[in-house]
Amino acid sequence: MSEQSEATPSAVDPGLESAPEHPGVAQLFAALACGELLAFERLARELDFAPDQQGRIAIASMAGAEMTHFDRLAAEITARGLDVVAVTEAYMPVLTRYHARTTPRNWYEALVKAYIGDALAADFYREIVPALPAAAADVVRETLSDTGHSEFVVPQVRSAIVANPALRSPLTLWGRRLLSEAITQTQEVLATRDELAALLFESSGDLAGIGEFFDSVQTRHAERMRTLGLA
Amino acid sequence: MSEQSEATPSAVDPGLESAPEHPGVAQLFAALACGELLAFERLARELDFAPDQQGRIAIASMAGAEMTHFDRLAAEITARGLDVVAVTEAYMPVLTRYHARTTPRNWYEALVKAYIGDALAADFYREIVPALPAAAADVVRETLSDTGHSEFVVPQVRSAIVANPALRSPLTLWGRRLLSEAITQTQEVLATRDELAALLFESSGDLAGIGEFFDSVQTRHAERMRTLGLA
């Protein structure tokens, strides 16, 4: 696909600089921006569960970082002559559905969701970078670069499970549910947003790309569950 | 006071560089950081009132900016060898009281509070800068520099009042209440935190400084109420 040739440094095409950008790029930024906005909203709501000032600050800092990402993506959308309000609104239903189906009922579910959600987003960002035109890849890399805010979760969850082993089983189920809902809603987006699916999976030539993508996400999810002490 | 001489560029004192910092500086950063954290929490809660995606994005961006300020102040607190969690926690009661007494009941109260609260904070920051040692003044100036997120409020409130003049009177009372609660709680902080009061008002030599400070805040508040269409 000629629109994708910017992603291949070895491509020699004098028309490259002025080639129209793949329309999936703006859609991708819109989907990511909407994801950041809703992640912010949900994290902010979960402040109510924070048992202490440390937890409150940690969750608020994560939420703040989501809005820094949002602002970066919004600037890119605006630079493309698009209206941030309109393009992000289109992704609200599917992302609202994800959060409605994964609403934490307590502090530990909120922590696990923050950690797993952050990591799944980072996985997703990392997987799509190679499929993107260079300029778009830079934006996604930058947006990814300051994650890691959720690392405070690991010792908290691990020590909670040691203190109260009965937490392990429900939190393990919770982690599985987070992954399965994330995959379901991502598939929903890809099924309904042709430009986005084309952008991300055209380079692989067939649908195998999607399968490999989800396999890789699942492998890393399993590692992270072990890190949290959730077998 | 020798701790304050850094704020006076004309002072000649070879011991300046190594002079111990006024202990009020760390307290000031703690109070401001706690203020940013709670402003973030309250704004995030008010997302529920947003009537549309534009309002949601505007409020979320303001809230995100509060956490950027918080992070900046937290870094300064940490650099002084203090624990951010502990020092900010000390200001939670008074700031929680302010927000509990000024909890918006609808979208327009939320907008007016966002605008007035942001401006009062900016006033406060501006007033205290001259009283601060140079390095601390820079931090406060930087924290202040990216306010203006609340400017979107003005046309929204003005057009709402034109469309529904019955909004004017309750919103005017609301604006007065915001100012009076802000002053009450600031006085409470100054009355109980000697180091902070000393830092901010020692340079004026007597208590007149406090009176002038609140007079100036009130004058600017009245201008802003007119800007909002609230006489």
| Per-residue pLDDT reduced to its tens digit, A136-164 | 999 998 887 666 678 889 999 999 999 99
pTM of the model: 0.85
Can you tell me the distance from the alpha carbon of B150 to that of B147, in angstroms, rounded to the nearest whole number? 7
Can you tell me the distance from the alpha carbon of A123 to that of A222, in angstroms, rounded to the nearest whole number? 13
Residue type, position B199, single letter: L
Picking from A63, A84, A88, the nearest residue to B67 by CB comes out as: A63
Which residue of A lies nearest to B87 if distances are taken between CA atoms?
Answer: A53
Residue A210, pLDDT above cutoff 80 = no
* Rg (alpha carbons) of chain B, rounded to whole number: 18
Specify whether the CB–CB gap between B27 and B197 falls below 8 A.
no
pLDDT in tens, B195-211: 888 887 776 555 566 77
Contact assignment for A85 to B47 by CB distance below 8 Å:
no
pLDDT for A9 = 43
Query: Is residue A22 exposed (0-12), middle (13-18) or buried (19+ Cβ within 10 Å)?
Result: buried
Can you tell me the distance from the alpha carbon of A131 to that of B132, in angstroms, rounded to the nearest whole number? 51
Mean of all residue pLDDT scores within chain B: 86
Contact assignment for B61 to A44 by CB distance below 8 Å:
no
Torsion, Cα A101 A226 A217 A21, to 10 degrees, reads 90
Which residue of B lies nearest to A41 if distances are taken between CA atoms?
Answer: B44
Can you tell me the distance from the alpha carbon of A41 to that of A15, in angstroms, rounded to the nearest whole number? 42
Residue predicted with more confidence, A212 or A162: A162
Can you tell me the distance from the alpha carbon of A118 to that of A108, in angstroms, rounded to the nearest whole number? 15
Specify whether the CB–CB gap between A28 and A136 falls below 8 A.
yes
Residue predicted with more confidence, A215 or A157: A157
Specify whether the CB–CB gap between A189 and A91 falls below 8 A.
yes
State percent of chain A over pLDDT 90.
61
Contact assignment for A60 to B45 by CB distance below 8 Å:
no
* Rg (alpha carbons) of chain A, rounded to whole number: 18
Specify whether the CB–CB gap between A199 and A31 falls below 8 A.
no
Query: Which alpha helices (DSSP H) does B47-152 contain, by range?
Result: 53-79, 84-89, 92-101, 107-128, 134-145
Specify whether the CB–CB gap between B60 and A70 falls below 8 A.
yes
Q: Which residues contact B203 (CB under 8 A, 6 or more apart)?
A: B1, B4, B7, B130, B131, B209
Can you tell me the distance from the alpha carbon of B107 to that of B37, in angstroms, rounded to the nearest whole number? 21
pLDDT in tens, A36-80: 999 999 999 999 999 999 999 999 999 999 999 999 999 999 999
CA-based nearest distance A61→chain B, Å: 6
Token pair, residue A227, equals: 């890190």
Can you tell me the distance from the alpha carbon of B205 to that of B202, in angstroms, rounded to the nearest whole number? 5
Picking from B54, B56, B68, the nearest residue to A68 by CB comes out as: B68
Q: Which residues contact A151 (CB under 8 A, 6 or more apart)?
A: none
Which residue of B lies nearest to A87 if distances are taken between CA atoms?
Answer: B53
CA-based nearest distance B14→chain A, Å: 40
pLDDT for B31 = 94
Specify whether the CB–CB gap between B32 and B48 falls below 8 A.
no
Picking from A60, A85, A92, the nearest residue to B37 by CB comes out as: A60
Contact assignment for B66 to A68 by CB distance below 8 Å:
no
**A→B interface, C-beta within 8 Å:** 37, 40-41, 44-45, 47, 52-54, 56-57, 60-61, 63-68, 70-71, 74, 84-86, 88-89, 92
CA-based nearest distance B53→chain A, Å: 6
pLDDT for B152 = 86
pLDDT for B119 = 87
Among residues B139, B192, B127, B123, the alpha carbon closest in space to that of B21 is found at B139
Task: Report the pLDDT averaged over residues A100-123.
Answer: 92
pLDDT for B8 = 42
HEC-encoded secondary structure of B39-52:
HHHHHHHHHHHCCC
Contact assignment for A71 to B61 by CB distance below 8 Å:
yes
Which residue of A lies nearest to B86 if distances are taken between CA atoms?
Answer: A53
Lowest mean pLDDT among A74-88, B106-120, B134-148: B134-148
Token pair, residue A140, equals: 């996604």
Among residues A68, A186, A194, A201, the alpha carbon closest in space to that of A124 is found at A186
pLDDT in tens, B52-109: 999 999 999 999 999 999 999 999 999 999 999 999 999 999 999 999 999 999 999 9
pLDDT for A178 = 95
Token pair, residue A155, equals: 């010792």
Can you tell me the distance from the alpha carbon of B230 to that of B216, in angstroms, rounded to the nearest whole number? 19
pLDDT in tens, B14-59: 444 557 888 899 999 999 999 999 999 999 999 999 999 999 999 9
Residue A6, pLDDT above cutoff 70 = no
CA-based nearest distance A28→chain B, Å: 18
ipTM of the complex: 0.83
